[in-house]
Amino acid sequence: MIRRFLAAVIVVGVAAALLVIAWPNLFGLAEAPVVAQLVSVRALTSVIAVAAAITLGLVALLWAGARRFLAALALLAMLFALINGAVLSTRGFGDESFPTRAPAELSVLSWNTLGDAPGAERIAELIVAEQADIVVLPETSQETAIAIAERTREADRPMWVYSIAFDYVAKARSTSVLVSVDLGRHEVDDTVGNTTVLPSIVLRPLDPGGLTIVGVHPVAPLPGELENWRADLRWVDGICTGERIVMAGDFNATADHFRTIDPVEGIDAPSGVAALGFGECRNAGLLTGNGAVGTWPTRLPPLLGAPIDHVFVSSDITVTGMRVLTEYDGAGSDHRPVVARIILE
């Protein structure tokens, strides 16, 4: 009797834990310790769960005395994997088909360079290849950003450079943004606060009707940084309000950590999935069926990684396509670049 009771308690406990990890927002625990990290790699935990279910099932066949208990755990593991698979499928496993670029489209590129690791020449080549108009480069120093701009200018793509650094000891504490000269001049808005550990940058247009550009880099949700991470996400949530806003960077957050906003008219958003975002902004990956494609780390296949690098736009901007670029996995950074195309309404 005691063994059956303990087995039942374990099964119920495992079921509760898996439910929290699979659906943390049901309990308001998406930012809780351990859960915040595990929910970021849904696909990876699903693969582990399937492997565990198979192993438990095989052991159950050989161990008659624990067959029901092990079979119950195997069933829970499979259900967990199925729930995760269903969630990821609503976000999109990748649609890299870009239509032919229209004259009115702009290209937005974001790449955490891991402290300038790919080098100015490689980054500039990517910018020119994608004909990027807005480039957000977390962990990129001002020196490297200027060297990139010199190379893009030589390729007939002149760009303004804006950088911010919390210190010059570690390049990770720098964020740079390059903006096509065709989009006019901007100024850094230092009146709106900032993220806590790693710098973000807010650029306001000097010309009427210009774009507000936000390059963000919240700290990672490491055990010792959870409070700062939560504060960073609150800051990001509050900064993306208004019109004509493009926000991009390494958010160290997946769709489970976004804030739910009202669906926008004209968006195909089953169950409101595509209306998840920060503040009044919407996520380009979710809007284009790329929301489950991992951008970190590059050592994992894209469908097993964490989708933490994003492009967001305000509701008056249309996203026409988005891609996670895997061809730069060996370039030195542990993040993949993401590129989105947008049209200003």
Sign of the torsion angle spanned by Cα atoms 43, 45, 50, 51:
positive
Tell me how far apart the alpha carbons of residues 201 and 217 are, in angstroms, rounded to a whole number: 9
Q: Is the pLDDT of residue 335 over 50?
A: yes
Sign of the torsion angle spanned by Cα atoms 19, 25, 27, 29:
positive
Q: Is the pLDDT of residue 269 over 50?
A: no
* Residue-wise pLDDT tens digits, 49-94: 999 999 999 998 888 878 899 999 999 999 999 999 999 999 999 9
* Residue-wise pLDDT tens digits, 180-191: 999 999 999 999
With the CA atoms of 190, 120, 151 and 185 taken in that order, what torsion angle do they form, in degrees rounded to the nearest 10? Answer: -10
* pLDDT of res. 260: 54
Strand partners for 175 = 138, 164
The amino acid present at 220, given as its one-letter code, is A
Burial class of 245 by CB neighbour count within 10 A (0 to 12, 13 to 18, 19+): buried
* pLDDT of res. 172: 87
The listed range with the strongest mean pLDDT (39-48, 58-67, 96-105, 272-281) is 39-48
Q: Is 134 helix (H, G, I), strand (E, B) or coil?
A: strand
Cα maximum dimension of the chain? 79
Q: Is the pLDDT of residue 5 over 80?
A: no
Short-list 265, 295, 297, CA closest to 282: 265
Tell me how far apart the alpha carbons of residues 275 and 267 are, in angstroms, rounded to a whole number: 8
Task: Give whole-number Cα distances, 6 to 11, 55, 56, 249, in Å.
Answer: 9, 21, 18, 47
**CB of 132 within 8 A of CB of 108?**
yes
Q: Is the pLDDT of residue 329 over 60?
A: yes
Q: What share of the chain is helix, strand, coil (3-state, %, to 5)?
A: 40, 20, 40
Long-range contacts of 147-152 (CB under 8 A, 24+ apart): 147/120, 148/120, 148/123, 148/124, 148/178, 149/178, 150/120, 151/120, 151/121, 151/124, 151/125, 152/124, 152/127, 152/128, 152/178
Mean pLDDT of the chain: 92
* pLDDT of res. 188: 97
Q: Is the pLDDT of residue 267 over 50?
A: no
pTM, 2 dp: 0.92
Q: In what order do the strands lie in the sheet with 201-205?
A: 186-188, 201-205, 212-216, 245-250, 309-314, 281-283, 276-278, 259-260
Q: Is the pLDDT of residue 95 over 60?
A: yes
Phi and psi (nearest 5°) for 212? -85, 130
* pLDDT of res. 166: 94
* Mean pLDDT of the region 285-295: 95
Q: Is the pLDDT of residue 277 over 90?
A: no
Short-list 220, 213, 274, CA closest to 239: 213
The CA-to-CA distance between both ends of the chain, in Å, stands at 68
Short-list 114, 109, 232, CA closest to 172: 114
* pLDDT of res. 65: 79
- Within 67-158, strands assigned E span 105-110, 134-138
* Residue-wise pLDDT tens digits, 207-248: 888 999 999 999 999 999 999 999 999 999 999 999 999 999
